[in-house]
């Protein structure tokens, strides 16, 4: 299996077609985008401008500037976790961290377990580099959290990695400490790596965030992916990070070196300057409060229209279930044509997402409300026309 075989066997983003169609329409409500609508906080913009003016525009260190790596190690150390600077690599967003993490542990033919519905990148990147993906579905009935016994029944000697994503895109599930512990215990029994994607760490509305890094002391095959994209509204700056065991350091370094040479320099200095500031803490707190308000608006409106949904406990999405028997691709296409609302078909997130659709809460509350009103009207018509 070559990389080209892998590339040929993954499909490009599914929602491109919907976007293209939407671009020819007026009065479209796009609820598909997982990108914060707020602007970059001023304090961060100012810091970036300052560093651009002061010459932080050249290549920087491969794994990121040491001061930012130290800052990240310290964030975990403050929680009593054993994360050292050497474990931290600054990456071009979480996307790049997932790629570097997988590329450093997966061999052709290895198996990766992905709980579905899941962010599509995990399965795509694993496939690209020649691994086999085994989806283990989670369901609305148990809040889309994985069942450790089910994991134990499928994990096997070819399983090289399992992926955890809490808070989850698309379901908003948040795993508690006990569940995290159990999942990591099962992975450790099989000697599998755990790749934990924690990009929505700051967006938890119910329960508490638990990092897989908490278990890295007792199990040394834990990788943590994180990002500044959503928290600081800088999706275009491309900055995230990867925490990984020392034994993977050399491989990760090579992937980063030949993949992109270094993360953007000015952006790292800008983040370093402001990350602990009161302005940023306040900004993140206000963002969380606003998303919680929007989540409530979305869930209430969906309930009002009789659409089944498990209220998300975190992240930036709501993942309603369609009435049984409806095809999510067809539903989202007709929804766009009839009501000019863009939503993401659930099967984008693997087999566990079939029969669902995803809307994001990154638009203002009144837009979400209007979008859900149109969705509700459409579901009623669609269901009666199908005789479901």
Ligand X SMILES: Cc1ncc(COP(=O)(O)O)c(C=O)c1O
How, if at all, do strands 240-243 and 88-91 pair? antiparallel
**Rounded CA gap, 108 and 93, in Å?**
25
Reading phi first (left if > 0) and then psi (alpha if -120 to 50, else beta), residue 288 is in alpha
* Residue with Cβ nearer ligand X (167 or 378): 167
Structure tokens at 137: 């579905």
The CA radius of gyration of the chain, in Å to the nearest whole number, is 21
- Minimum Å gap between C-beta 102 and ligand X is 13
- Minimum Å gap between C-beta 97 and ligand X is 8
Cα atoms in the 13 Å half-sphere on the side-chain side of 176: 5
**Dihedral sign (CA 78, 80, 83, 88):** negative
- Minimum Å gap between C-beta 229 and ligand X is 3
* Residue with Cβ nearer ligand X (37 or 370): 37
Question: What backbone torsions phi and psi does residue 60 show, to the nearest 5 degrees?
Answer: -125, -175
Q: At what angle do helices 42-53 and 278-304 cross, to 10 degrees?
A: 130
* Residue with Cβ nearer ligand X (203 or 283): 203
Which residues are CB-contacts of 254 (< 8 A; sequence separation ≥ 6)? none
- Minimum Å gap between C-beta 239 and ligand X is 7
* Residue with Cβ nearer ligand X (197 or 273): 197
Query: b/e for 263-283, b at 16 or more Cβ within 10 A?
Result: bbbbbbbbbbbbbeeeebeeb
- Minimum Å gap between C-beta 388 and ligand X is 31
Residues 146/112, Cβ–Cβ less than 8 Å: no
**Residues making contact with ligand X (CB under 6 A):** 34, 93-95, 119, 165, 169, 197, 199, 227, 229, 235, 240
* Residue with Cβ nearer ligand X (235 or 277): 235
**Rounded CA gap, 5 and 297, in Å?**
45
- Minimum Å gap between C-beta 130 and ligand X is 21
Closest residue to ligand X in the complex (CB): 93
- Minimum Å gap between C-beta 316 and ligand X is 8
* Residue with Cβ nearer ligand X (321 or 358): 358
Residues 356/322, Cβ–Cβ less than 8 Å: yes
Structure tokens at 258: 């030949």
* Residue with Cβ nearer ligand X (95 or 116): 95
* Residue with Cβ nearer ligand X (274 or 379): 274
- Minimum Å gap between C-beta 93 and ligand X is 3
């Amino acid at each position: 299996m070559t990389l080209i075989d892998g590339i040929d066997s993954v499909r490009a983003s599914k929602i491109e077609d919907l976007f293209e169609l939407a671009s020819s329409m007026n009065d479209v409500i796009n609820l598909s985008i997982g990108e914060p609508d707020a602007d970059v906080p001023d304090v961060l913009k100012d810091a970036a401008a300052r560093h651009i003016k002061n010459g932080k525009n050249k290549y920087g260190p491969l794994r990121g500037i040491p001061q930012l790596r130290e800052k990240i190690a310290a964030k975990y150390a403050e929680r009593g976790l054993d994360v050292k600077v050497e474990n931290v690599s600054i990456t071009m967003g979480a996307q790049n961290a997932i790629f570097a993490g997988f590329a450093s542990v997966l061999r052709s033919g290895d198996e990766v377990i992905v709980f579905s519905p899941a962010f599509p990148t995990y399965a795509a990147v694993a496939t690209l580099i020649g691994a086999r993906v085994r989806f283990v579905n989670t369901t609305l009935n148990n809040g889309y959290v994985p069942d450790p016994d089910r994991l134990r029944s499928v994990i096997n000697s070819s399983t090289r990695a399992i992926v955890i994503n809490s808070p989850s895109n698309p379901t908003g599930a948040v795993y508690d400490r006990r569940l995290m512990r159990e999942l990591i215990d099962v992975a450790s029994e099989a000697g599998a790596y755990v790749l934990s994607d924690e990009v929505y760490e700051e967006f938890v509305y119910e329960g508490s965030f638990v990092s897989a890094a908490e278990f890295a002391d007792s199990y040394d095959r834990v990788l943590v992916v994180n990002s500044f994209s959503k928290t600081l509204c800088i999706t275009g700056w491309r900055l995230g990070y990867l925490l990984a065991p020392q034994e993977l350091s050399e491989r990760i370094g090579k992937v980063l070196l030949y993949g992109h040479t270094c993360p953007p320099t000015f952006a790292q200095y800008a983040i370093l300057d402001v990350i602990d500031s009161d302005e940023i803490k306040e900004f993140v707190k206000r963002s969380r409060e606003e998303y919680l308000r929007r989540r409530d608006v979305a869930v209430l409106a969906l309930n009002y229209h009789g659409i089944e949904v498990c209220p998300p406990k975190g992240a930036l999405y709501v993942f309603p279930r369609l009435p049984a028997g409806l095809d999510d691709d067809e539903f989202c296409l007709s929804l766009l044509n009839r009501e000019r609302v863009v939503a993401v078909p659930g099967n984008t997130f693997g087999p566990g997402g079939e029969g669902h659709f995803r809307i994001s809460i990154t638009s203002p509350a009144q837009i979400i409300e209007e979008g859900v009103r149109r969705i509700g009207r459409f579901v009623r018509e669609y269901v009666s026309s199908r005789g479901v």
